[in-house]
Structure 1
Amino acid sequence: MRYPSMLLLGLALAGAASAQDQPSGALVPPTSASEYTAGQLDRVLAGPWRPAAERARDAWRHPKATLDFFGVRPDQTVVEITPGAGWYSAILAPLLRDDGRYVAAVQAGGGGEARRDEAALRQRFAANPAVYGKAVIVTFDPKAPVFGPPGSADVVLTFRNVHNWAEAGTAAAMFKAFYAVLRPGGVLGVVDHRAAPGAKLEAVKDSGYLPVDYVVKLATDAGFVLDGQSEVNANPKDDRNHPRGVWTLPPTLALGEQDKARYLAIGESDRMTLRFVKPQAPASSASAR
C-alpha cells in the first residue's frame, strides 16, 4: 500500500473542499498504516464533497457497516454496478483514489431516469477532479454485459438494482458477468429491497421487493458461494404493504404529500445485504504433486 500517496490525497481533498459544502470534519491525512486501515473510511464519510442531503441518508444506508461487511479496502479494484447519480460513488471513488481503482458501470443507451443519472454522475466527477479524477466510467449492454477484463476486479457491488434486472429479464446475464470480472476469491456484495419470507417473485417483483432465495439462486447459479448475510440494512418498521411498493417510502415518496409523515416515520425499505464469493480456482494436478 502506498501510504504516502494517501497523505497527498488528504491535502488535495482538504484544499478542494474550500468551495464546497463544508462540514466540520474535513478529510485529514492519515499518519500511520494502522490509521489508514481503520480510519480512512471515516474520513471519506465526513468528506466535504458529500452533499448534506446525501450524508443524511447514512442513517438508512449504513455505508460504513455495509462496506465493512463486504470487506472493501482502499487498495482494491471495485466495480459498482449502476451507481445512479453517485451516492456510493462519493464514498468509494475517494476511498480508492490513490491505492485502488473505482469503476462505475452504467448501462449503455439507457433512457429516462438512467440517462439523467449518468449525466449527473459524469457532472459530479468532472466538477471535482481532486476527489474523482481517477474514477472510471464504463458502459455495458445489459443483455450481454461485460464490466472489464476477466478476473480484473476484487469486489463487485450493487445497491438496489437487482429488482430492475428481475423485471427486465436480464438478471441472470448480469450475475454471470459479475462472476467473469471478479478474480478467484473476489467478493460480490448485493443490497436490495427484501420481500416477506415465503413471497414468490412473480407476486412481488413489480413492488421492487425481492425474495432473498431468488437473489441467492441468481448468484449461486452463476457460480458464486453465499459467504454471509447481514441485517445492517434491515428495517423492521417496513411491512412491505404500500400502494406504490418501495417507491412509496423515502426517498422517492411516490404518493407526494399523501400520508407523507407516516412513510417518513417508516423510513427507507427493509433490505437484504448479501456477500458472495467467487471460489478459488482448484489446484492443478502439477501443483498438487
Structure 2
Amino acid sequence: MAYRFTLPLAGVLAIALATTAVAGSDVPDNLLSAVANPARPEAQRARDAARHPAEILAFAGVKTGDKVGDFLMGGGYFTRILSGAVGPTGKVYAFQADEFISFMADYGKWQDETAKFAPNIVPVRSSIGVFATPEPVDLIFTAQNYHDLHLGRATPEQIAAINKRLYAALKPGGVLLVIDHYAADGSGDRDSSKLHRIDIAMVKAELEAAGFKLEGQSDLLRNPADPRTASVFDPAIQGKTDQFVLKFRKPK
C-alpha cells in the first residue's frame, strides 16, 4: 500500500495473560446470530470458517448495547458482524482513513456500502492522525491493519500519537482488540511494507507505551505451518496466515 500519511506529531506490575481459544459453546447468542445473519454478503460469509468471528468477538467481550469503533474497517467484514452483535441499542463507528481512500477509492465505496447494512453503523472519516470517535466507546477493534502504521510513511512519534488517540477514544476499562499477521520473531517492522506482517513484540511494546495493559492473547488464528516469510497476499498463504489476537484494556 503506497499511500502517504498526513499526521500531526503531537500527540509495573506483571500480569497473567490468558491464552484462550473460545469454544463454540461459550459464544453468546448475540454473536452467533450476528454471524449467521443471511443478509451479510455471501463472499464475506464464505470467510467465516477461517476467521472465527464469533469466537474472536467473544474473546473481545462484545455485548449487546456496546459502542464500538472499527478502526480501519477495510471492506466491512467485521463491521457488519459487530453491528448485529451490539444490536439496535449499540453503535458501530466504522472508521476509514482519508489516506486509504486517497490510495484506493474502493475504501470509500466499501464504507458507504457497509453503512447501508444497518442503521447502527455510523461512518467516520478523517486523516488517520486525527482519529476520534463521536463518543467514548467500549471497544476499539482493528483486524489486519496495525502493520499499516509501519509502512514507512509515518514516524515513530506519529505512530505513538495515533495509539494515544485510540486510548483516548475508549471509555475507562474499555478494550482494544488487535488482530494482525505474525512476522518473524525479533523482526520489528522490517516486513511490514513488503510482507504486510509485524512482530508481535513490537505491537505489544507500542500499545503498552500508550498506556494500554495487555490482558490476553488468543490462539484462534494460529497457523504454525505459515513460515512467516511470504507476503500475506501470496496465493500459497493468503487467508491462511499465522495471526495473533491481542486484547488490551484501558485502565479504569
TM-score band w.r.t. shorter chain:
0.7 to 0.9
**Corresponding position of 2:17:** none
Work out which of the residue numbers 173, 179, 191 in structure 1 matches 2:179.
191
SS at match of 1:209: coil
Q: 1:24-35 residue pairs with structure 2 within 5 A? A: none
TM-superposed CA distance for 1:205, in Å, is 4.5
**Corresponding position of 2:52:** 62
Q: For residue 223 of structure 1, what is the amino acid of its counterpart?
A: G
Q: 1:1-289 residue pairs with structure 2 within 5 A? A: 38-108=28-98, 110-113=101-104, 115-126=105-116, 128=117, 132-149=118-135, 152-167=136-151, 168-169=153-154, 170-202=158-190, 205-242=193-230, 245-248=231-234, 253=235, 263=236, 267-280=239-252
TM-superposed CA distance for 1:54, in Å, is 1.1
Deviates more, 1:38-47 or 1:139-148: 139-148
Percent identity of paired positions between Structure 1 and Structure 2: 30
TM-superposed CA distance for 1:272, in Å, is 0.8
Is residue 181–residue 196 contact of structure 2 (8 Å, CA) maintained in 1?
yes
Runs of 4+ in 1 over 6 A off after TM superposition: none
TM-superposed CA distance for 1:204, in Å, is 5.1
TM-superposition CA deviations, 1:136-193 (whole Å, max 9, x none): 11112222322334xx111001001111111132432221111001111110000001
SS at match of 1:241: coil
TM-superposed CA distance for 1:57, in Å, is 0.9
- Structure 1: give runs of 5+ residues left out of the alignment: 1-36, 254-262, 281-289
**Cα pair distance change 1:200/1:82, threshold 3 Å:** closer
TM-superposed CA distance for 1:87, in Å, is 0.7
Between Structure 1 and Structure 2, the one with more strand by share is 2
SS at match of 1:246: coil
SS at match of 2:77: coil
Q: For residue 119 of structure 2, what is the amino acid of its counterpart?
A: G
Is residue 190–residue 275 contact of structure 1 (8 Å, CA) maintained in 2?
yes
Q: Taking CA–CA contacts closer than 8 Å with sequence separation of 6 or more, which of the two structures ends up with the larger relative contact order? A: 2
- Greater C-alpha radius of gyration: 1
Is residue 246–residue 269 contact of structure 1 (8 Å, CA) maintained in 2?
yes
**Cα pair distance change 1:106/1:267, threshold 3 Å:** closer
**Cα pair distance change 1:85/1:219, threshold 3 Å:** same
**Corresponding position of 1:283:** none
SS at match of 1:158: strand
Cα separation, 1, equivalents of 2:119 and 2:223: 36
Q: For residue 67 of structure 1, what is the amino acid of its counterpart?
A: L
Between Structure 1 and Structure 2, the one with more helix by share is 1
Under a length normalisation based on structure 2, what TM-score does the superposition of the two structures give? 0.81
Under a length normalisation based on structure 1, what TM-score does the superposition of the two structures give? 0.71
